[in-house]
Amino acid sequence: MQICPQYNNRILDGTAFCDNCSAALPPQSVATPEPEGATVKCSTCGALHNLGEPFCDNCGAYLQPLSPPPPGLRARLVVVRTGAHFDLSDKPDILVGREDLISGVFPDVDLMPHGGGECGVGRRHARLTFRDGRWLIEDLNSTNFTFVNNQKLSPGVPQPLNSGDQIRLARVLLTFHTY
C-alpha cells in the first residue's frame, strides 16, 4: 500500500497518482511474493491471498467469496439529474466513481458522463457490496464525502441501504432501488 505524500491517505500499489489530490507518487520497486497454494485475488487491489483468509492484508477489503443477490434483492442506481440507470445485479461488489485513463481507474459505475468530474466525485469514491442478504455502501475515504439520506458516512464503515435511499457522492445525487 502506498501513502500520499501530501495528505497521507492510502493508495493502491502500482498507482502513479493520488486518487484524491492527483499528486505524483514515487515509483515502487518492491514486489510482493505470491502466496503458495490455492489463492484468491483481492477484487479491490489485486493482491493474492491464501484461500480462507477473510480480509486483504494489503488494502483491508473483504476476501470471502460474495454471490450475486437473488431476485427481489437485485438493485439499481438512478442518477437523479440525468435519469441514467445502473443495474447492480450482476456483481456483489461494485466500485462507484469516475473513470480516469491516466491512473487506470475504471469503476463499475462511472459517473463521469453524469457530472462526476465537475461535481467532485472521486475516482474510487464508494463501494456497494451485497453481503449477508443486504446491500451496503462504504465511502472509500473520498475527498468530497458520501451521504445516505443526508447523513455523512464515516470512511471505511459500511452502511446498510434500503430501497428508496438517496445517495450523494460529492454533488451527484442518486437513488438506490431494489427489485
Cα separation values, 60 from 49, 57, 75, 89, Å: 12, 6, 25, 24
Q: Is 90 exceeded by the pLDDT of residue 89?
A: no
Give CA–CA dist 94/107, Å, rounded.
Answer: 8
Q: Model-level pTM?
A: 0.63
**Following CA atoms 61, 134, 124, 49 in sequence, which dihedral angle do they give, to the nearest 10 degrees?**
20
Give pLDDT tens digits for 44-78: 777 787 776 777 777 777 666 556 666 657 899 99
CATH number for the domain formed by residue range(s) 75-178: 2.60.200.20
Indicate the pLDDT class of residue 16, thresholds 50, 70 and 90. low
Contacts of 132 (CB under 8 A, 6+ apart): none
Give pLDDT tens digits for 143-174: 999 999 999 999 999 999 999 999 999 999 99
Q: What is the pLDDT of residue 46?
A: 73
Residue ranges of domains in the chain: 75-178
